[in-house]
Amino acid sequence: MSSEFECDPSALIEAFNNVVDSYTDIALDEMERTAKEFRKDLVKNTKQVVDTSKQSKLIKGYKFDKTTGFGSDMEKNLRCKAPHFHLVEKGHNLITPYTKNRKMVSNGGQRIGFVPGKFMLKKTCEEYEEKIPEAMQRVLDTIRRENNI
């Protein structure tokens, strides 16, 4: 027993184009929302491990660049304007000064210790390894709902 199935290719193509167009807008909105949440959680994690009275530039310096790319190649880059962010995040050596009052110090440049890193960004990224799939599921659910799939 055979049955004939007719499908208008132009209607199918139009439906696919609607899904693709809606994906870009919905994914961009979800990316913006997730980036704001990520920054908020990063600030919270930073406040937990750093003395905020001394490190206010560090907390205020977290910024996301504008979204670049299109479609499946969209991305947002996080940057920190604070010049000492990498020292706090990954740790650094303590070195005695080379000069004092513009005169060379005899034992200058000696390593006297190590300040361990706080790893605020790493901790936040690990938290978001579970949250990103949930955000992508919200994008798919929204696309299905808007396009009646």
Determine the structural domain holding residue 31 and report its residue range. Answer: 9-144
Q: Is residue 33 in some structural domain?
A: yes
Which pLDDT does position 5 carry in this prediction?
A: 59
Please say if the pLDDT value at position 12 is more than 90: no
Domain total of the chain: 1
Q: Is residue 4 in some structural domain?
A: no
Model confidence over 24-58: pLDDT tens digits? 889 999 999 999 999 999 999 999 998 877 778 88
Model confidence over 90-142: pLDDT tens digits? 999 999 888 888 888 888 888 899 999 999 999 999 999 999 999 999 999 99
Burial readout 25-54 (b: 16 or more C-beta within 10 A, e: otherwise): ebbbeebeebbeebeebbbebbeeebeeee
Q: Is residue 138 in some structural domain?
A: yes
Which pLDDT does position 18 carry in this prediction?
A: 82
Q: Is residue 47 in some structural domain?
A: yes
pLDDT confidence tier of residue 3, bands split at 50, 70 and 90:
low
